[in-house]
A = this chain, B = another copy of it.
Amino acid sequence: MTGTRTTGRRERLRAETTAEIKSTALELMRSGGPDAITLRAIAREMGMTPNAIYGYFATRDDLVTTLIADVYSALADAVDAAWAASAQDGPARRIQAWAHAFRDWALANPEGFRLVYGDPVPGYRAPDGGAAPDAAQRVCVGIAALADAAWEDTEPAFPKSEFTWDDFDPGLLGKVRPAFPDLPPAGVALALRIWGHLHGLVSLEIYGHLRGQTPSPDKLFRSELDQLVGSLGLKG
Protein backbone atom coordinates (compact mmCIF):
# COMPACT_ATOMS: atom_id res chain seq x y z
CA MET A 1 0.00 0.00 0.00
CA THR A 2 2.76 2.36 0.99
CA GLY A 3 4.43 1.09 -2.13
CA THR A 4 1.64 1.99 -4.45
CA ARG A 5 1.15 5.35 -2.81
CA THR A 6 4.76 6.33 -3.12
CA THR A 7 4.96 5.03 -6.65
CA GLY A 8 1.92 7.16 -7.26
CA ARG A 9 3.78 10.13 -5.89
CA ARG A 10 6.66 9.64 -8.25
CA GLU A 11 4.31 9.32 -11.14
CA ARG A 12 2.42 12.40 -10.10
CA LEU A 13 5.62 14.38 -9.79
CA ARG A 14 6.65 13.17 -13.17
CA ALA A 15 3.35 14.17 -14.71
CA GLU A 16 3.53 17.56 -13.05
CA THR A 17 6.99 18.25 -14.35
CA THR A 18 5.97 17.13 -17.81
CA ALA A 19 3.02 19.50 -17.69
CA GLU A 20 5.23 22.30 -16.43
CA ILE A 21 7.64 21.82 -19.29
CA LYS A 22 4.81 22.11 -21.76
CA SER A 23 3.20 25.11 -20.17
CA THR A 24 6.55 26.83 -19.85
CA ALA A 25 7.16 26.23 -23.53
CA LEU A 26 3.83 27.82 -24.41
CA GLU A 27 4.49 30.77 -22.13
CA LEU A 28 7.81 31.32 -23.80
CA MET A 29 6.20 31.16 -27.19
CA ARG A 30 3.55 33.62 -26.07
CA SER A 31 6.09 36.23 -25.12
CA GLY A 32 8.84 35.49 -27.58
CA GLY A 33 7.34 33.91 -30.66
CA PRO A 34 7.77 30.40 -31.96
CA ASP A 35 11.54 30.60 -31.98
CA ALA A 36 11.54 31.09 -28.23
CA ILE A 37 10.77 27.40 -27.72
CA THR A 38 14.21 26.06 -26.89
CA LEU A 39 15.10 23.41 -24.39
CA ARG A 40 17.62 25.71 -22.78
CA ALA A 41 15.13 28.54 -22.35
CA ILE A 42 12.56 26.19 -20.87
CA ALA A 43 15.11 24.76 -18.47
CA ARG A 44 16.28 28.25 -17.53
CA GLU A 45 12.71 29.30 -16.82
CA MET A 46 12.13 26.22 -14.69
CA GLY A 47 15.40 26.49 -12.84
CA MET A 48 16.82 23.22 -14.07
CA THR A 49 19.64 22.23 -16.33
CA PRO A 50 18.80 21.75 -20.01
CA ASN A 51 19.65 18.08 -20.00
CA ALA A 52 17.10 17.37 -17.28
CA ILE A 53 14.42 17.75 -19.93
CA TYR A 54 15.76 14.69 -21.68
CA GLY A 55 14.28 12.72 -18.85
CA TYR A 56 10.85 13.74 -20.12
CA PHE A 57 11.20 14.14 -23.86
CA ALA A 58 13.58 12.22 -26.04
CA THR A 59 14.26 15.21 -28.22
CA ARG A 60 13.21 18.79 -28.79
CA ASP A 61 11.11 17.83 -31.78
CA ASP A 62 9.32 15.30 -29.61
CA LEU A 63 8.38 18.08 -27.25
CA VAL A 64 7.13 20.26 -30.09
CA THR A 65 5.11 17.39 -31.53
CA THR A 66 3.47 16.81 -28.16
CA LEU A 67 2.87 20.51 -27.79
CA ILE A 68 1.11 20.76 -31.13
CA ALA A 69 -1.07 17.75 -30.37
CA ASP A 70 -1.98 19.13 -26.94
CA VAL A 71 -2.81 22.56 -28.19
CA TYR A 72 -4.84 21.24 -31.08
CA SER A 73 -6.80 19.05 -28.69
CA ALA A 74 -7.48 22.03 -26.44
CA LEU A 75 -8.86 23.92 -29.41
CA ALA A 76 -11.00 20.98 -30.43
CA ASP A 77 -12.27 20.65 -26.87
CA ALA A 78 -13.21 24.32 -26.75
CA VAL A 79 -15.24 24.33 -29.95
CA ASP A 80 -16.80 20.93 -29.27
CA ALA A 81 -17.90 22.16 -25.86
CA ALA A 82 -19.51 25.25 -27.36
CA TRP A 83 -21.28 23.08 -29.90
CA ALA A 84 -22.56 20.72 -27.27
CA ALA A 85 -23.66 23.56 -25.03
CA SER A 86 -25.80 25.04 -27.80
CA ALA A 87 -27.55 21.79 -28.63
CA GLN A 88 -30.95 23.31 -27.86
CA ASP A 89 -30.54 26.22 -30.25
CA GLY A 90 -31.23 26.57 -33.93
CA PRO A 91 -28.49 26.24 -36.55
CA ALA A 92 -27.82 29.96 -36.79
CA ARG A 93 -27.13 30.34 -33.10
CA ARG A 94 -25.14 27.14 -32.98
CA ILE A 95 -22.91 28.26 -35.81
CA GLN A 96 -22.36 31.56 -34.09
CA ALA A 97 -21.59 29.81 -30.81
CA TRP A 98 -19.06 27.58 -32.49
CA ALA A 99 -17.44 30.47 -34.32
CA HIS A 100 -17.17 32.60 -31.23
CA ALA A 101 -15.63 29.72 -29.33
CA PHE A 102 -13.10 29.35 -32.10
CA ARG A 103 -12.18 33.02 -32.10
CA ASP A 104 -12.21 33.31 -28.32
CA TRP A 105 -9.89 30.37 -27.99
CA ALA A 106 -7.54 31.84 -30.55
CA LEU A 107 -7.48 35.22 -28.82
CA ALA A 108 -6.85 33.55 -25.48
CA ASN A 109 -4.15 31.31 -26.95
CA PRO A 110 -2.56 33.21 -29.80
CA GLU A 111 0.66 31.27 -29.47
CA GLY A 112 -1.32 28.06 -29.75
CA PHE A 113 -3.10 29.29 -32.84
CA ARG A 114 0.20 30.13 -34.46
CA LEU A 115 1.66 26.81 -33.45
CA VAL A 116 -1.17 24.90 -35.04
CA TYR A 117 -2.00 27.01 -38.07
CA GLY A 118 1.09 29.07 -38.73
CA ASP A 119 4.68 28.56 -39.63
CA PRO A 120 6.35 25.66 -37.91
CA VAL A 121 8.74 26.17 -35.06
CA PRO A 122 12.16 26.93 -36.55
CA GLY A 123 14.07 23.79 -37.33
CA TYR A 124 11.15 21.57 -36.44
CA ARG A 125 10.66 18.42 -38.49
CA ALA A 126 7.31 16.76 -37.96
CA PRO A 127 7.37 13.00 -37.46
CA ASP A 128 6.32 10.74 -40.32
CA GLY A 129 2.64 10.54 -39.46
CA GLY A 130 2.21 14.30 -39.59
CA ALA A 131 1.43 16.31 -36.50
CA ALA A 132 -1.78 15.85 -34.55
CA PRO A 133 -3.95 14.34 -37.23
CA ASP A 134 -6.40 13.34 -34.57
CA ALA A 135 -7.38 16.76 -33.24
CA ALA A 136 -7.15 18.24 -36.73
CA GLN A 137 -9.79 15.82 -37.86
CA ARG A 138 -11.91 16.58 -34.84
CA VAL A 139 -11.95 20.23 -35.84
CA CYS A 140 -12.80 19.33 -39.42
CA VAL A 141 -15.66 17.13 -38.34
CA GLY A 142 -16.83 19.94 -36.08
CA ILE A 143 -17.01 22.27 -39.04
CA ALA A 144 -18.81 19.64 -41.05
CA ALA A 145 -21.32 19.56 -38.21
CA LEU A 146 -21.95 23.26 -38.75
CA ALA A 147 -22.64 22.69 -42.40
CA ASP A 148 -24.80 19.68 -41.64
CA ALA A 149 -26.88 21.60 -39.12
CA ALA A 150 -27.46 24.38 -41.60
CA TRP A 151 -27.82 22.27 -44.68
CA GLU A 152 -31.41 21.19 -44.63
CA ASP A 153 -32.62 24.76 -44.16
CA THR A 154 -30.24 26.27 -46.64
CA GLU A 155 -30.07 23.83 -49.49
CA PRO A 156 -32.75 25.42 -51.66
CA ALA A 157 -30.95 28.76 -51.52
CA PHE A 158 -27.84 27.18 -52.93
CA PRO A 159 -26.84 26.96 -56.54
CA LYS A 160 -27.00 23.49 -57.95
CA SER A 161 -23.59 22.40 -56.97
CA GLU A 162 -20.87 21.22 -59.23
CA PHE A 163 -19.15 19.30 -56.45
CA THR A 164 -18.85 15.53 -56.32
CA TRP A 165 -17.30 13.18 -53.80
CA ASP A 166 -14.20 13.11 -55.94
CA ASP A 167 -13.54 16.68 -54.96
CA PHE A 168 -12.59 15.65 -51.44
CA ASP A 169 -9.92 13.44 -50.00
CA PRO A 170 -10.95 10.02 -48.76
CA GLY A 171 -9.44 10.74 -45.37
CA LEU A 172 -11.84 13.59 -44.81
CA LEU A 173 -14.84 11.76 -46.22
CA GLY A 174 -14.11 8.70 -44.13
CA LYS A 175 -14.85 10.77 -41.05
CA VAL A 176 -17.53 13.07 -42.39
CA ARG A 177 -19.84 10.83 -44.38
CA PRO A 178 -20.54 8.33 -41.60
CA ALA A 179 -21.17 11.17 -39.17
CA PHE A 180 -23.40 13.16 -41.52
CA PRO A 181 -24.91 10.75 -44.02
CA ASP A 182 -27.35 13.33 -45.39
CA LEU A 183 -24.71 15.91 -46.22
CA PRO A 184 -24.04 16.04 -49.97
CA PRO A 185 -20.71 17.01 -51.56
CA ALA A 186 -21.75 20.64 -51.81
CA GLY A 187 -22.33 20.57 -48.06
CA VAL A 188 -18.76 19.46 -47.48
CA ALA A 189 -17.58 22.26 -49.74
CA LEU A 190 -19.68 24.64 -47.69
CA ALA A 191 -17.99 23.38 -44.55
CA LEU A 192 -14.55 24.08 -45.98
CA ARG A 193 -15.66 27.52 -47.09
CA ILE A 194 -17.05 28.36 -43.67
CA TRP A 195 -13.75 27.24 -42.23
CA GLY A 196 -12.03 29.60 -44.61
CA HIS A 197 -14.18 32.55 -43.55
CA LEU A 198 -13.55 32.02 -39.88
CA HIS A 199 -9.89 31.20 -40.28
CA GLY A 200 -9.36 34.28 -42.41
CA LEU A 201 -10.70 36.87 -40.03
CA VAL A 202 -9.26 35.20 -36.97
CA SER A 203 -5.80 34.76 -38.41
CA LEU A 204 -5.72 38.34 -39.71
CA GLU A 205 -6.54 39.41 -36.18
CA ILE A 206 -4.08 37.09 -34.46
CA TYR A 207 -1.26 38.11 -36.77
CA GLY A 208 -2.01 41.76 -36.18
CA HIS A 209 -3.15 42.69 -39.66
CA LEU A 210 -6.41 44.08 -38.36
CA ARG A 211 -4.58 46.41 -36.04
CA GLY A 212 -4.44 49.70 -37.85
CA GLN A 213 -7.67 48.89 -39.67
CA THR A 214 -10.33 48.62 -37.05
CA PRO A 215 -10.44 49.09 -33.30
CA SER A 216 -13.35 46.66 -33.05
CA PRO A 217 -12.49 43.35 -34.72
CA ASP A 218 -15.15 41.90 -32.49
CA LYS A 219 -17.86 43.82 -34.28
CA LEU A 220 -16.43 42.89 -37.63
CA PHE A 221 -16.47 39.23 -36.71
CA ARG A 222 -20.03 39.40 -35.51
CA SER A 223 -21.05 41.16 -38.67
CA GLU A 224 -19.35 38.46 -40.71
CA LEU A 225 -21.28 35.81 -38.81
CA ASP A 226 -24.59 37.61 -39.27
CA GLN A 227 -23.90 37.87 -42.93
CA LEU A 228 -22.85 34.24 -43.10
CA VAL A 229 -25.95 32.82 -41.47
CA GLY A 230 -27.98 35.32 -43.46
CA SER A 231 -26.50 34.13 -46.72
CA LEU A 232 -27.31 30.59 -45.67
CA GLY A 233 -30.93 31.60 -45.36
CA LEU A 234 -30.97 31.02 -41.61
CA LYS A 235 -32.62 33.33 -39.16
CA GLY A 236 -30.54 34.28 -36.13
Q: Write the residues of chain A forming the contact surface with B, with a CB cutoff of 8 angstroms.
A: 33-35, 114, 117-120, 122-123, 136, 140, 159, 161-163, 166-169, 171-172, 189, 192-193, 195-201, 203-204, 207, 209-210, 212-216, 219-220, 223-224, 226-227, 230-231
- Cβ-defined contact, B118 with A207, below 8 A: yes
Q: Which of B35, B136, B197, B207 contacts A197 (CB 8 A)?
A: B197
Number of identical protomers: 2
Q: How far is the CA of A224 from the CA of B189 in the complex (A)?
A: 9
- CB-CB under 8 A from A212, the residues of chain B are 169, 171-172
Residue of B nearest to A123 (CB): B35
Given contact pairs A167-B219, A196-B200, enumerate 12 new A-B contacts (beta carbons under 8 Å). A118-B207, A119-B207, A159-B227, A163-B223, A168-B213, A172-B212, A193-B223, A196-B201, A199-B203, A200-B200, A200-B203, A231-B231
Interface residues of A, dominant DSSP: helix
- Nearest CB in chain B: distance from A168 CB, A: 5
- Cβ-defined contact, B189 with A200, below 8 A: no
- Cβ-defined contact, B193 with A35, below 8 A: no
- Cβ-defined contact, B192 with A214, below 8 A: yes
| Residue from A213, A223, A231 whose CB has the most chain B CB atoms within 10 Å | A213
Q: How far is the CA of A207 from the CA of B195 in the complex (A)?
A: 14
